[in-house]
Amino acid sequence: MSWVCLLRGVNVGGNRKVKMDELRALFESLGCTHVRTILQSGNVIFDAKSKPRDLESHLGTQVVLRTQEEIRKVIAANPFPSEAESDPARLHVVFLSAPLPSDEPLRKVALPEEKFVVRGKEIYIYFAHGAGRSKLAESLTEKKLGVICTARNWNTVRKLAEERAA
């Protein structure tokens, strides 16, 4: 089965530097095969018969796992198809470790021009003015949401669905 591991907060703004060759080697040492890293932001595609255990303890950071098929379903369920076509860099998917207990923390801070939809273990967000200074983006933390979360822009999500393990 092909898996996608999304590491939280690595190689972003100079934080938690992780070398991709070391990351691939670690996954291989855990018995994963056909390991491939995508971009430099902590995305790993690999094959494994079952969900790897204790990845967080080996990696030293929080992770969210999905199968590649689940990533494809995320793309198919996108509630903002026109934004995905016209402005994919401002469309993000927030991957959650569990369904969101409540979207109230997001509703409180979202600007009228920021659109979001919660679907299962994903939040689709369109940041009309970018995520850089958005209060909504600042709310995407485990402390505020109650679940582990990590975001990827639409271009990256599509790449994760299209890539094959090495």
pLDDT higher than threshold 60 for residue 99: yes
Identify the residue with better confidence: 52 or 72.
72
Neighbours of 145 (CB within 10 A): 21
- Cα distances (Å, whole numbers) of residue 124 to 8, 84, 102, 136, 140: 17, 11, 15, 12, 12
106: tokens are 């997001």
Identify the residue with better confidence: 72 or 62.
72
Which residue matches tokens 């369109």? Answer: 126
pLDDT at 13: 53
First to last CA, the chain: 13
Residue intervals of the chain classified under CATH 3.30.70.1280 are 2-70
91: tokens are 């469309």
pLDDT at 166: 47
Residue 44 CA to residue 120 CA, distance in Å, equals: 22
Runs of H (alpha helix) within 1-91: 20-29, 55-59, 68-76, 81-86
Identify the residue with better confidence: 41 or 159.
159
Element (H, E) at 119: strand 115-119
pLDDT higher than threshold 60 for residue 142: yes
Domain 2-70 has CATH 3.30.70.1280: yes
The string of pLDDT tens digits covering residues 78-97 is: 999 999 999 999 999 999 99
pLDDT higher than threshold 70 for residue 159: yes
pLDDT higher than threshold 80 for residue 48: yes
- Average of per-residue pLDDT across 131-151: 92
* pTM: predicted TM-score of the whole model, two decimal places: 0.92
pLDDT at 14: 55
- Average of per-residue pLDDT across 20-26: 89
pLDDT higher than threshold 60 for residue 165: no
Looking at domain 76-162, its CATH architecture is 2-Layer Sandwich (3.30)
Quote the crossing angle between the two packed helices 68-76 and 154-162, to the nearest 10°.
130
Whole-number percent of the chain with pLDDT over 90: 72
Identify the residue with better confidence: 56 or 11.
56
pLDDT at 18: 76
